[in-house]
Structure 1
Amino acid sequence: MAEPEGDLPVADASGRRIAALALPALGVLAAEPIYLLFDIAIVGRLGALSLAGLAIGGLILTTLSSQMTFLSYGTTARSARFFGAGNRAAAVAEGVQATWLALGVGAVVVLAVQVFAVPLVSVLAGDAEIADAATPWVRIAIFGVPAILVSAAGNGWMRGVQDTVQPLRYVVVGFGLSAVLCPLLVYGWLGMPRLELAGSAVANVVGQWLAALLFFRALVVERASLRIQPAVLRAQIVMGRDLILRTMAFQACFVSAGAVAARFGAAAVAAHQVVLQLWNFLALVLDSLAIAAQSLVGAALGAGQLGHAKWVAGRVTIFSTLAASVLAIVFAVGASVFPAVFTDDRSVLDAIGVPWWFMVAQLPVAGIVFALDGVLLGAGDARFMRNATLLSALVGFLPLIWLSLGFDWGLLGIWAGLSTFMVLRLVFVGWRAFSGRWLIPGTT
């Protein structure tokens, strides 16, 4: 695909430039799911019950922190437009305000979960033993939520100014510390207390706060004003409203899937969790290209260069589709080997086959969908993204999940719902991208 002639791009957006943004972003995006897979492997040796407890606890933590994805994606879109217009100070100011939001919202989440932890876990687990295993993990791990949100805000503004290298360093340091602490605290190695499942939660919290402190430091280095700016906060909240509703649609689906899987027993929910975490990891691998699209599309639109924005969209979509196809082949070939990396429990391994092949089949579709998500998010097309995701969830994913419970379809029905959800999203974002309605220039 040739770059359009005429207007000069705001920044080089060759394949090399896209890769320079995408590869560090891949490291950032992959760090958490890699750590979670490592965490699953450590806890999995404690048995199916501990793994099921981690599955429910992890579902709660991920659901709550993921509601604030606008702190990352919305901030990137706004920061990138200011950066493209030549106003770096305004781009960084978006990060300051997003950080204040992160701290405030995070504190509210911690308080609410401490109050409602027992009924929340009980509803999701559906089994007293699983709930008893999950509750202590949740009570500890929830203290990491403010740090998770601060890191999301930091990633957002730094991507907007097209710096994906420093966030990678911060995240690697944080998760690296968690990875060292996790086996020590779970198993009681090197004289550390044997905390078992609770040790996993402590390791999470320590690493998350270290990364957050590094993102705070980046704002200080920029010499940005740290005062609250109500007008900027309001603008972020307006965009955040639509992105939160979009995220809630995702999380309603995944919470429902986890809760229904738990009704089929510890082995089913553990198998579901293993494949879901792997799916999330692969989704974020592909999302690294979407991050490059966000930054470059936002900057191009901020500079008023619509032709360049369209060129970036097409180029990233091609790269993402090819990458997804390669991943599908790798995980199809490794279907008989990879699952044993995460658990040696025979009942869990027997249940993994069904979701595994659904995951493989979805990957090429996901490659297109995630790339176009990045393009539209970079353009700030939040309202359309909200509507498309809500409709896909209500028509595709949720009905099949709950029919699975009613008709005892098990993991087959749950993952058929996820596949339907992805196909519907492909239809919506594909139409929007081709329509050109997202091509709106300027900084607002």
Structure 2
Amino acid sequence: MIGESRRPPGSAAPRPAPPGVLALALPALVVLAAEPLYLLVDTAVVGNLGTVALGGLAVGGGLLAWAAALLNFLAYGTTARAARRAGAGDRAGAVTEGVQATWLAVALGLLVLLLFQLLAGPLTRALAGGAGPVAEAGEQWLRVAALGAPLLLVSLAGNGWLRGVQELRRPVRYVVAGSLLSLVLCPVLVHPAGLGLVGSAVANVVGQALTAALFVRALLREDAGWRVHPTALARQLVVGRDLLLRAAVLQISFLVAAGVAARAGTAALGAHQIALQLFFFLALVLDAYAIAAQTLVGHALGGQRPDEARATARRVAVWGLGTGCAVAAVLLALRDVLPPLFTDDPAVLAQAAVVWWFLAGFQPLAGVVFALDGVLMGAGDVGYLRTVTIASALVGFLPLSLLSGPLDLGLAGVWTGLTLFVVLRLVAVLVRVVGDRWLGTPETVAP
């Protein structure tokens, strides 16, 4: 037909355009938000049992969440490795990365389960400030909920490889299915069934079992085989080591900051908790760009397309900056509305007003940092990210937090430290992305 576009005989079909940033970021955001939203409902249900049960959930749930955060490399590391294999046209290799990550998740999950069964009592007593009803309730919840640790980690691995092959809708369905099952079971098991706090833990485990089963079924349908590849496992452990060290330093930094805020008084601690939880929640939105960046950059570099990787870095940085600016504007516009939703204590509100400017002010910077973190993770440059994060915490966040007490800086000192932490990371990732070293393969990239 006249005007019909024809390819010369023997020429290759044009490569489909990569998916847009939002097309990958929005499903990732749903998966990231599902667990926190479920925990809010779980907290509301358990809260009706009284303060002891609520405290027990906070203690036990905090320990399990801490373990999951430290082992989140099963998702992020797997995404990067699977994306590079898929970008090179090796989907079977990308799925194999998912198989190896799943075996690693089972092994680490069983180790977490064993540790919590052995140490549930001492850990909950330490977190609760000594023996008592809250520590006992937390121990009871943790012993049951820890049965879901291997299932939770299998789901992290499943999220990782499916993101790597740019299939983000299936993880949404799987995670939402498990969360909905837990949402239905939790109030039923806690109240009518009479299981109390244990019912909450059982609902968690059942929902995690469904989600993990769906991810395993996805692997089985790929028919990739389940043989263990020691070399692939070793490489995943190297990536895991770097991301684990990075996560551990972050956790320690936030714990130190909370301790300093507590010594400044109950009003300061309350305001710090409100702002910090908002920071963590908003980080979910910005982290969705990191996941999109991992997938797109991994595909580009796996297919030997460095120019496309650079273009992706620019796009996600712009999206992160724009979203961060929008979030900052909303926070400032609602600075007299949001804090009273959490407390009516005038002293806490006064402290929150101080912190609010910091929280809003660094959102645009955090948007760029999170997006470029994803770019470097997708390139396998996790050693550099590890070094930068630890250095930024040791130079910026921790010193200012620790000096806030002796210098009587209060929350302003703590949050200045957090702001400096974000700024130092921003400078470091910008310098790296402007250069060329991150465009090499993971084996050649040096920290």
TM-score by length of 2: 0.85
Partner of 1:153: 157
- Listed as ranges, the matches of 1:4-403 within 5 Å are 11-13=16-18, 17-43=20-46, 53-126=56-129, 131-132=135-136, 134-186=138-190, 188=191, 191-193=192-194, 195-196=196-197, 198-259=198-259, 272-339=272-339, 353-403=353-403
- For 1:228, what is the secondary structure of its paired residue? coil
Partner of 2:9: none
Moved more, 291-300 or 272-281: 272-281
Partner of 1:4: none
C-alpha change, 1:46 and 1:383, in structure 2 (3 Å) is same
Alpha-carbon shift at residue 224 of structure 1 (Å): 1.7
Moved more, 257-266 or 423-432: 257-266
- Maintained 8 Å contact 1:85/1:443: no
Moved more, 353-362 or 369-378: 353-362
Alpha-carbon shift at residue 114 of structure 1 (Å): 2.2
- Maintained 8 Å contact 1:80/1:302: yes
Partner of 1:3: none
The runs of 5 or more residues in structure 1 that have no matched partner are: 1-7
The whole-number CA distance in structure 2 between the counterparts of 1:375 and 1:90 is 21
Alignment-mate amino acid for residue 140 of structure 2:
P
Alignment-mate amino acid for residue 416 of structure 1:
T
- Maintained 8 Å contact 2:379/2:442: no
The whole-number CA distance in structure 2 between the counterparts of 1:301 and 1:410 is 46
Alignment-mate amino acid for residue 428 of structure 2:
F
The whole-number CA distance in structure 2 between the counterparts of 1:358 and 1:138 is 35
CA displacement 1:218-275 (0-9 Å, x = unmatched)? 1011112012111211121122221221122112223334455566788766665554
Alpha-carbon shift at residue 414 of structure 1 (Å): 3.8
C-alpha change, 1:97 and 1:9, in structure 2 (3 Å) is farther
The whole-number CA distance in structure 2 between the counterparts of 1:136 and 1:44 is 16
- Maintained 8 Å contact 1:51/1:270: no
| Percent identity of equivalent pairs | 53
The whole-number CA distance in structure 2 between the counterparts of 1:176 and 1:346 is 38
The whole-number CA distance in structure 2 between the counterparts of 1:410 and 1:185 is 44
Partner of 2:3: none
Alpha-carbon shift at residue 391 of structure 1 (Å): 0.5
The whole-number CA distance in structure 2 between the counterparts of 1:73 and 1:9 is 30
- For 1:304, what is the secondary structure of its paired residue? coil
- For 1:192, what is the secondary structure of its paired residue? coil
Alignment-mate amino acid for residue 163 of structure 2:
R
- Maintained 8 Å contact 2:380/2:441: no
Partner of 2:4: none
Alpha-carbon shift at residue 305 of structure 1 (Å): 0.7
- Maintained 8 Å contact 2:381/2:442: no
- Maintained 8 Å contact 2:78/2:236: yes
- Maintained 8 Å contact 1:126/1:263: no
The whole-number CA distance in structure 2 between the counterparts of 1:75 and 1:266 is 41
Using CA pairs under 8 Å that are at least 6 residues apart, name the structure with larger relative contact order, 1 or 2.
1
CA displacement 1:11-58 (0-9 Å, x = unmatched)? 523xx6222111111111121222234444555666777655544434
Alignment-mate amino acid for residue 151 of structure 1:
S
The whole-number CA distance in structure 1 between the counterparts of 2:411 and 2:204 is 29
Alpha-carbon shift at residue 133 of structure 1 (Å): 5.2
C-alpha change, 1:232 and 1:285, in structure 2 (3 Å) is same
TM-score by length of 1: 0.86
Alignment-mate amino acid for residue 71 of structure 1:
L
In our comparison, the structure showing a higher alpha carbon Rg is 2
The whole-number CA distance in structure 2 between the counterparts of 1:171 and 1:137 is 22
The whole-number CA distance in structure 2 between the counterparts of 1:128 and 1:344 is 31
- Maintained 8 Å contact 1:257/1:401: yes
The whole-number CA distance in structure 2 between the counterparts of 1:158 and 1:87 is 14
Count of aligned positions: 431
Partner of 2:6: none
C-alpha change, 1:91 and 1:304, in structure 2 (3 Å) is same
CA displacement 1:409-435 (0-9 Å, x = unmatched)? 665544333222212211211111112
The whole-number CA distance in structure 2 between the counterparts of 1:52 and 1:356 is 27
Moved more, 327-336 or 306-315: 327-336
Alpha-carbon shift at residue 335 of structure 1 (Å): 3.5
Moved more, 126-135 or 175-184: 126-135
Alpha-carbon shift at residue 215 of structure 1 (Å): 0.7
The runs of 5 or more residues in structure 2 that have no matched partner are: 1-12
C-alpha change, 1:398 and 1:54, in structure 2 (3 Å) is farther
